[in-house]
Amino acid sequence: MNRTVRMGPQARREERYFYLFISPWLIGFLVFFLGPIIASLFFSLSIYDVINPPRWSGLANYKGLFADRLFWQSLKVTSLYSVGSVALGIVASLAIALLLNRNIHGVAWFRTIFYLPSVISGVAVSLLWMWIFNPDFGILNYLLWTIFRIRGPTWIYSEQWVLPSLIIMSLWGMGGGIVIYLASLQGIPTDLYEAAEIDGAGSWSKLTKITLPMMSPVMFFQLIMGIIGSFQVFTQAYVMTDGGPHYASLFYVLHLYRHAFKYFRMGYASALAWILFLILLGLTVLVFKSAALWVYYEK
Amino acid sequence: MEFVWTKTRRRIALDTTDYILLILLSMIILIPVFWMLSTALKSDSEVFLFPPVWIPAKLHWNNFKRALTFLPFVRYFLNTSTITFLAMVGQFLSSPLVAYAFARLRARGKDALFILLLSTMMLPTQVTMIPTFILFKELGWVDTFAPLILPNFFGSAYFIFLLRQFFSTISPELSDAATIDGCGYFGIFTRIILPLSKPALATMAIFTFMWNWNDFMSPLIYLSSTEKWTLTLGLSRFRGMYGMTAWNLLMAASLVTLLPCITLFFFAQRYFIQGIVITGVKG
């Protein structure tokens, strides 16, 4: 191309504009990302209560953290929730997307309904579900009784049921996944199915041999995003249960928040943040390694 | 006549099952929303009737007024609107320009910087949250809106990525033609790229709105004076103040908080869906 011929001053001008245009992000990267990362590493190795300057304490925070019963409790709570909400979320949203993908009338309406809950989030939705889960006057226990004659549990007020409750609530908001699966289902070339039908394939083998392999890259991505999201749950735990009853919903980030902004143990909380990063990194690497076994990529 | 499973009959049976399942699932999704509206319109004593009533005997629209006047809700609404609006301005001034540079301009180190940009999305915000708080504290900006607004003026990796993907699909011939007509890089950006990217910009606007409107953790950390609270913060405190019993007022206040998001969703549904599909599938 003749462009490469007249490079030189022109190319240098282009490069200058490139750096000028990305400068907002570059400054933000230094001030709100790189700087804080270095500071956070340093804080995690010191004792820091915000009022007095940080004092170097070596690995004391990390050692203290592993000896803390509540750290392990928060890890257990978060992991159980993550497994439950991510696994059920992927299966359920894929199933609903398959139902929606059958070329029936009114798909757009159903899609709108399923997606609606995921546009509303946060405190208002947490309050709504507190009321739904209300053991005495909530709609959930009433429906369980009138339809199935089951006496419902006390949901978020019960140590055994608080996590299942929050998982149910998370399934209500899984519409984003449905939309993504539906979009990629519609992207599967129909000639694959036609060829399979000629070969005499039934619905089940079309699902397991064509649909699921073709969907696996999207499921892979959803799995990673789901794990990362579920490990950062905060609002529900803070608003609905405040970590209770008896630490049964002490989510990792709630534990971190309390140390940072309630007890002002910034060093300890920074150590918690880095452990969270390592856990998420480890899980992501693990999922990536597993991808060779179950994710199908077109050549 | 003997019943035979012909292809058409099988198709009808499957479609019917499909519809029944979808309608049942839709009801499960919609019941909580209906329950919220129904509770918001109940009288104080009706809330605690058992079995619960689905439609209140009398619709107490007055509950909205009561909920909104008990706390300075108008104030919270204005605070949240201010923060959200300025955050959107910040994103508009920064993210598209950065995305344009990454999509179109050639420079040494560009690929490495783009990987760096993507990798910032990997780090949980909790890692940078504490030092950022200390930074704003040293600046004396804790208990102001600045910590909630300012970071938006430096772009967000997520939107830069989303917009870069979109800008890359615009034919380069268009900008080549503009170059011949004497347009500079900034001119190409404002006159060619931006007008052709309205759907992607709408997606960015909507997501920025939603995230800032619903954000809870940042206001919780930064805003301590009552008169500076946002809706989410006010709502979470509402529970404690009114006691646990005024569910009709709580639901009324929650509905008012959610209303802008629900309205936006119904008018701009395709931009929501586009946003999650672009970043979800191609991400």
One DSSP character per residue, A23-77 reads HHHHHHHIIIIIHHHHHHHHHHTEE--SSSPPEE-TTHHHHHHHT-HHHHHHHHH
Q: Are residues A130 and A232 in the same domain?
A: yes
| B81 or B63, which is more confident | B81
Q: Are residues A38 and A133 in the same domain?
A: no
Maximum distance among all alpha carbons in chain B? 86
Q: Are residues A29 and A134 in the same domain?
A: no
| B177 or A206, which is more confident | A206
Q: What pLDDT is attached to residue A2?
A: 45
Q: Percent of chain B having pLDDT more than 90?
A: 41
Q: Are residues A16 and A151 in the same domain?
A: no
Q: Are residues A140 and A233 in the same domain?
A: yes
Phi (first) and psi of residue A50, to 5 degrees: 75, -40
Q: Are residues A171 and A40 in the same domain?
A: no
**Measured in whole angstroms, how far is the alpha carbon of residue A181 from the centre of its chain?**
16
pLDDT range class, residue B55, cuts 50, 70, 90: confident
pTM for the predicted model, two decimal places: 0.89
Q: What pLDDT is attached to residue A254?
A: 96
Cα dist from B259 to A169, A235, A275, B121, whole Å? 20, 19, 38, 30
d(CA B43, CA B54): 13
Mind telling me how many Å the CA of A159 is from chain B's nearest CA?
20
A5 pLDDT exceeds 60?
no
Q: Is A53 among the domain residues? A: no
B243 pLDDT exceeds 80?
no
Q: Is A55 among the domain residues? A: no
Query: Are B99 and B160 spatial neighbours (Cβ–Cβ below 8 Å)?
Result: yes
Range A99-107 average pLDDT: 82
Q: Is A51 among the domain residues? A: no
Q: What is the CATH number of the domain that holds A229?
A: 1.10.3720.10
| B67 or A24, which is more confident | A24
For testing the chain B interface, which of A74, A119, A178, A252 should be mutated: the one with the most B CBs within 10 Å? A119
**Which residues have C-beta within 8 Å of that of residue B268, sequence separation ≥ 6?**
B202, B206
| A291 or A27, which is more confident | A27
Residues 94-133 of B with CB under 8 A from A: 94, 97-98, 100-102, 105-108, 110, 113, 116-117, 120, 122-133
Domain that holds residue A115: 63-294
Paired sense of beta strands A55-56 and A46-47, if any: antiparallel
Question: In whole numbers, what is the pLDDT of chain B averaged over residues?
Answer: 87
Report which residue type is found at B208.
T
Q: What is the helix (H) or strand (E) element at residue A56, kind and residue range? A: strand A55-56
| B122 or A2, which is more confident | B122
| Domain total of chain A | 2
Q: What's the ipTM?
A: 0.87
Q: Is A52 among the domain residues? A: no
| B9 or A168, which is more confident | A168
What six digits make up the tokens of B276? 């999650």
A3 pLDDT exceeds 60?
no
B22 pLDDT exceeds 50?
yes
What pairs with residue A56 in β-bridges?
Answer: A46
Q: Is A213 among the domain residues? A: yes
Phi (first) and psi of residue A47, to 5 degrees: -100, 125
Range A246-274 average pLDDT: 95
Mind telling me how many Å the CA of A270 is from chain B's nearest CA?
7
d(CA A50, CA A5): 58
Q: Are residues A24 and A70 in the same domain?
A: no
Q: For residue range B82-132, what is the model confidence (pLDDT) as tens digits?
A: 999 999 999 999 999 999 999 988 899 999 999 999 889 888 899 999 999
- Of the listed ranges A53-57, B42-46, B181-185, the least confidently predicted one is B181-185
Q: What pLDDT is attached to residue A64?
A: 92
Q: What pLDDT is attached to residue B279?
A: 60
pLDDT range class, residue B278, cuts 50, 70, 90: low
Mind telling me how many Å the CA of A160 is from chain B's nearest CA?
23
Q: What is the helix (H) or strand (E) element at residue B209, kind and residue range? A: helix B198-214
Residues A21, B100: C-beta atoms closer than 8 Å: yes
Q: Are residues A74 and A105 in the same domain?
A: yes
Q: Are residues A103 and A135 in the same domain?
A: yes
In the DSSP assignment, the letter for residue A41 is H
Q: For residue range B191-233, what is the model confidence (pLDDT) as tens digits?
A: 888 888 888 898 899 889 989 999 999 999 999 998 999 999 9
Reply yes or no: is the peptide bond before residue B51 cis, omega within 30 of 0.
yes
Q: Are residues A86 and A207 in the same domain?
A: yes
Residues B276, A176: C-beta atoms closer than 8 Å: yes
Q: Are residues A266 and A185 in the same domain?
A: yes
Q: Percent of chain B having pLDDT more than 70?
A: 94
d(CA A203, CA A196): 10
Q: Are residues A224 and A83 in the same domain?
A: yes
Q: What pLDDT is attached to residue B281?
A: 43
pLDDT range class, residue B282, cuts 50, 70, 90: very low
